[in-house]
């Protein structure tokens, strides 16, 4: 059986890893390549690098960084942030990324998913969705959660799958940054409705939170940032505990 | 010198990166003379098997690969092209390995593509020296080679036990990506380099 994956997420600004606390007050936590190499050694199954640079210069720096990451680490990695065209995706693929993630641009133009998938395969395309619960309905947001949309989470996830997404990375904006657990029930419903893998993101605060989203939430992978970056939960300890709890993980 | 066959079949740079991490000299090439002169040859591949086969044929490399007598390693779609045929197309392969390539059947909780880390079993080759049965490696594929006389490692996805690796004489193939499989993958590549 395919192992459940543990994925540290690194937000990168001008080549340095930062972690946004509610997307404000960004703090630098380390060198993006060195941190990736360390995570790979510790047993991370995959890495996600998100470019949060706003400037053109920052974007160019990111492509160079992706090239260095690809040379440095020996596990798969996804890159995202500001990918708006097939050409953006091609540049990152050429630099060595295994997958790209699209978010706001896919909502603005859903055909982007199919165009990238047709050229490079579904396995290359992760559709990232940020959503929050409004009046009992899960609604998608864009631009880091700052802009509401008319799209409903489950309908959009199904559409993304039909258009050629290889995976869905769903972040609950209601849970992100709280460290109070993932939106387990929402992931369980996504698993029910989709045939492609789902990555859970937002809310990890403890080993138990991660176990729950992988088992009760039926997520294929759990993504987290701060609990890993600040050493709160070392990955070897996390995986040993998950294994003891009967979760199929790579040790 | 290791030749990595460059035939426009997806992200093949990662194989070169892995060799660089291991300190092995390599070149990306589709030049028959360079491939024939190499100590070892790697046939990578990501994407559609029929398209990849066409790319290999257009470059006039099919017979050349079949005739190689040095160690050859096919990775992922590269391995599938070395089989008899593939349902993806369908397309005739190079016929080096005695195996057919079929599509996984989807089922609840059996996702296709088979993507992620999965365990190796029934290891039976020098390629897996110092690699324990049950070691995890990284897979991304929707089609698989069944079990047969050339199987040297197996893996299970749902109810399907398939060939994780194949060998015939000097030809090796891995369905998984050793270049993305952490320290286990590095050990397998090192074993290939030491053949």
**ipTM of the complex, rounded to two decimals:** 0.92
Class of domain B2-193: alpha beta
Q: Are A13 and A242 in contact (CB under 8 A)?
A: no
* Residue range B45-90, pLDDT digits in tens: 888 899 999 999 999 999 999 999 999 999 999 999 999 999 999 9
Kindly report the backbone phi and psi dihedral angles of residue A120, in degrees, each rounded to the nearest multiple of 5, phi listed first.
-120, 0
* Residue range B135-146, pLDDT digits in tens: 999 999 999 999
Nearest residue on chain A to B112, alpha-carbon basis:
A196
Q: Where are the domains of chain B?
A: 2-193
* Residue range A189-244, pLDDT digits in tens: 999 999 999 999 999 999 999 999 999 999 999 999 989 988 889 999 999 999 99
Cβ contact, residue pair B117, A74, below 8 Å: no
State the pLDDT at residue A112.
98
A210-248 burial code (b ≥16 CB/10 A, e <16): bbbbbbebbbbbbbbbbbbbeeebebeebbebbeeeebe
* Residue ranges of A 219-238 with Cβ closer than 8 A to chain B: 220-221
| Coil, helix or strand at residue A170 | strand
Look up B179 and say whether it is catalytic: yes
Question: Which of B10, B17, B18, B104 best tests the A interface by mutation, with the highest count of A CBs <10 A?
Answer: B17
CB–CB contacts below 8 A, A to B: 83
State the pLDDT at residue A56.
73
Q: B59 CB near a chain A CB, below 8 Å? A: no
Q: Which residue has the tokens 């720096």?
A: A61
Assess whether pLDDT exceeds 70 at residue B131: yes
**pLDDT over 70, % of chain A:** 96
**Domains of chain A by start residue, with CATH:** 5-244 (3.20.20.70)
What distance lies between CA B175 and its chain's CA centroid? 5
Look up A130 and say whether it is catalytic: yes
Round to whole Å and give the CA distance between A230 and B101.
Answer: 45
Round to whole Å and give the CA distance between A218 and A188.
Answer: 5
Query: Which DSSP letter does residue A2 get?
Result: P
Q: Are A72 and A37 in contact (CB under 8 A)?
A: yes
Q: What is the pLDDT along chain A (251 residues), one digit of tens a residue?
A: 899 999 999 999 887 888 654 444 556 677 889 999 999 999 999 999 999 876 777 778 899 999 999 999 999 999 999 899 999 999 999 999 999 999 999 999 999 999 999 888 888 999 999 999 999 999 999 988 889 999 999 999 999 999 999 999 999 999 998 999 999 999 999 999 999 999 999 999 999 999 999 999 999 999 999 899 888 899 999 999 999 999 999 99
Cβ contact, residue pair B181, A74, below 8 Å: yes
């Amino acid at each position: 059986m395919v192992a459940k994956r543990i994925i540290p997420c690194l937000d990168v600004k001008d080549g340095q890893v930062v972690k946004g606390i509610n997307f404000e007050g960004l703090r630098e936590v380390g060198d993006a390549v060195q941190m990736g190499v360390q995570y790979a050694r510790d047993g991370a199954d995959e890495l996600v690098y998100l470019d949060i640079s706003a400037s053109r210069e920052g974007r160019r720096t990111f492509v160079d960084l992706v090239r260095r990451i690809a040379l440095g680490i020996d596990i798969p990695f996804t890159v995202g942030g500001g990918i708006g065209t097939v050409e953006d995706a091609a540049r990152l693929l050429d630099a060595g990324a295994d997958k790209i993630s699209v978010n706001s641009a896919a909502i603005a133009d859903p055909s982007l998913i199919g165009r990238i998938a047709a050229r490079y395969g579904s396995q290359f395309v992760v559709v990232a969705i940020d959503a929050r619960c409004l009046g009992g309905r899960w609604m998608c947001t864009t631009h880091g959660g700052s802009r509401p949309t008319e799209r409903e989470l489950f309908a959009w996830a199904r559409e993304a799958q039909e258009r050629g997404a290889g995976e869905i990375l769903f972040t609950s904006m209601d849970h992100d940054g709280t460290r109070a657990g993932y939106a387990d029930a929402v992931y369980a419903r996504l698993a029910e409705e989709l045939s492609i893998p789902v990555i859970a993101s937002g809310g990890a605060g403890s080993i138990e939170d991660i176990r729950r989203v992988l088992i009760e939430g039926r997520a294929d992978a759990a993504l987290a940032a701060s609990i890993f970056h600040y050493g709160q939960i070392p990955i070897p300890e996390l995986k040993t505990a998950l294994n003891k709890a009967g979760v199929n993980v790579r040790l | 010198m290791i030749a990595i066959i460059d035939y426009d079949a997806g992200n093949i740079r990662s194989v070169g990166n892995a060799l660089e991490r291991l300190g092995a000299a390599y070149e990306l090439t589709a030049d028959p003379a360079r491939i024939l002169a190499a100590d070892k040859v790697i046939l990578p591949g990501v994407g559609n098997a029929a398209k990849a086969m066409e790319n290999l044929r257009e470059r006039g490399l099919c017979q050349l690969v079949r005739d190689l007598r040095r160690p050859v390693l096919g990775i992922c779609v590269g391995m599938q092209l070395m089989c008899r045929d593939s349902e993806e197309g369908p397309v005739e392969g190079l016929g080096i390995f005695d195996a057919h390539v079929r599509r996984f059947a989807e089922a609840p909780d059996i996702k296709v593509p088979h993507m992620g880390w999965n365990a190796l079993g029934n290891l039976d080759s020098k390629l897996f020296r110092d690699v324990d049965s049950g070691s995890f490696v990284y897979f991304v594929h929707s089609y698989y080679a069944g079990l047969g006389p050339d199987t040297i490692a197996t893996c299970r996805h749902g109810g399907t036990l398939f060939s994780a690796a194949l060998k015939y004489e000097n030809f090796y193939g891995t369905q998984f990506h050793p270049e993305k499989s952490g320290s286990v993958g590095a050990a397998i590549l090192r074993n290939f380099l030491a053949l």
